[in-house]
Amino acid sequence: MTNASNAAPAAAQGGRKFGDVILDLQNISLRFGGVKALTDISFNIREHEVRAIIGPNGAGKSSMLNVINGVYHPQEGKIMFRGQERKKMEPHMAAKQGIARTFQNIALFKGMSVLDNIMTGRNLRMKCNLFQQALWIGAARNEEIAHREKVEEIVDFLEIQHIRKTAVGALPYGLQKRVDLGRALAMEPEILLLDEPMAGMNVEEKQDMCRFILDISDQFGTTIVLIEHDMGVVMDISDRVVVLDYGKKIGDGTPDEVRNNQDVINAYLGSGH
């Protein structure tokens, strides 16, 4: 890793302060049977930064996110969370540690309304037990309302007030992506993993989504890890970029450094250039 990448370009992004390393991935290797999805990958994520993971199709980007939030378990390597080694954990435990994510192929709860979808994100913070909920007595009702208020804030933030009671299955693609983001935001995560948040969007929708991502970073100070194919977007909004190709890391640094990295250029344009 280059020194430059550790000296975070704080000034470039309106004076946001980067904190310490929050998540440190060390020598991660992941295999499915004989297929190597990730080979010996190390990089870190700092608090409050926007960290992008890029690479051609099949480079292992989604696998990397799946490793971070516990869907896949790497065969080798360590994951340090706030300086402590993380044990093998299930996705819901990662969620408890404050890691939220959105999905490449939207994974919303199709049979539920927008509000209910986002409310599921509050689940970890709801404490009433089943009996209280069944009786809908004081505590359960108050809790429901308190969280509803929180969710309404997110609804306002993402500008989806008009569809809050619509079933998500009936929404157009771009709005579904927003609801997906809303559900992750409702968890008030420390780290937000975004898997191709702008895939398949038109220019306007992309602009909206970029604005939301930067606002989230600014207003909530959330650390964001982002997978994206649109290079323009990546170079504009991310602080540091890690480049994967065939499951290996071939570049890491600020957008400018990565842009000029010969390995990266080869990977994207072919080595003949």
Partner 1 sequence: MIYRENGQFKTSYLADQQIFTIAQDKWFVLGLIAFAAIGVPFLADEYLFRAVLIPFLVLALAALGVNLLVGYCGQITLGAGAFMAIGAYAAYNFMVRVDGMPLVLAMLLGGVAAAGFGILFGIPSLRVRGLYLAVATLAAQFLCDWAFLRIGWFTNNSASGSVSVAKLEAFGWVINTPVEKYLFCLIFVVVFALLAKNMTRASIGRQWMAIRDMDVAAEVIGIRPMYAKLSAFAVSSFFIGVAGALWGFVHLGSWEPAAFSVDRSFQLLFMVIIGGMGSIMGSFFGAAFIVILPIFLNQFLPFLGGLVGVTVSTAGISHAEFIIFGSLIIFFLIVEPHGLARLWSIAKQKLRLWPFPH
Partner 2 sequence: MGFFIETMLGGLMTGMLYSLVALGFVLIFKASGVFNFAQGAMVLVAALAMARFSEWSNAALGGDSLFLANVIGIIGAGIVMFAVAWTVERFVLRKLVNQEGATLLMVTLGIAYVLEGLGQTFFGSEIYSINVGMPKDPVIMFEGLIEGGVMINKEDFIAALLAAVLVGGLTVFFQKTSVGRALRAVADDHQAAQSVGIPLNKTWVIVWCVAGLVALVAGIIWGSKMGVQFSLVTVALRALPVVILGGLTSVPGAIVGGLIIGVGEKLSEVYLGPYVGGGIEIWFAYVMALIVLLFRPQGLFGEKIINRV
* CA dihedral of residues 64, 70, 72, 74 (deg, nearest 10): 70
Q: Which is nearer to partner 2, 21 or 71 (CB)?
A: 71
Q: C-beta of 234: minimal distance to partner 2 in Å? A: 22
Q: Is 155 in the site for partner 1 (CB under 8 A)?
A: no
Q: Is 174 in the site for partner 1 (CB under 8 A)?
A: no
Q: Is 102 in the site for partner 2 (CB under 8 A)?
A: no
Encoded amino acid at 124, one letter: L
CB-CB contact of 185 with 179 (8 Å): no
CB-CB contact of 240 with 5 (8 Å): yes
Q: Is 103 in the site for partner 2 (CB under 8 A)?
A: yes
Quick check: helix, strand or coil at residue 128?
coil
Q: Is 225 in the site for partner 2 (CB under 8 A)?
A: no
Q: C-beta of 84: minimal distance to partner 1 in Å? A: 20
Q: Which is nearer to partner 1, 148 or 248 (CB)?
A: 148
Bridge-based pairing state of the strands 191-195 and 223-227: parallel
**Using CA atoms, how far apart are residues 262 and 15, in angstroms rounded to an integer?**
30
Tell which one of 13, 44, 66, 238 touches partner 2 (CB under 8 A). 66
Q: C-beta of 120: minimal distance to partner 1 in Å? A: 5
**Using CA atoms, how far apart are residues 166 and 194, in angstroms rounded to an integer?**
24
Residues lying near partner 2 in the complex (CB under 8 A) = 32, 62, 66, 71, 103, 107
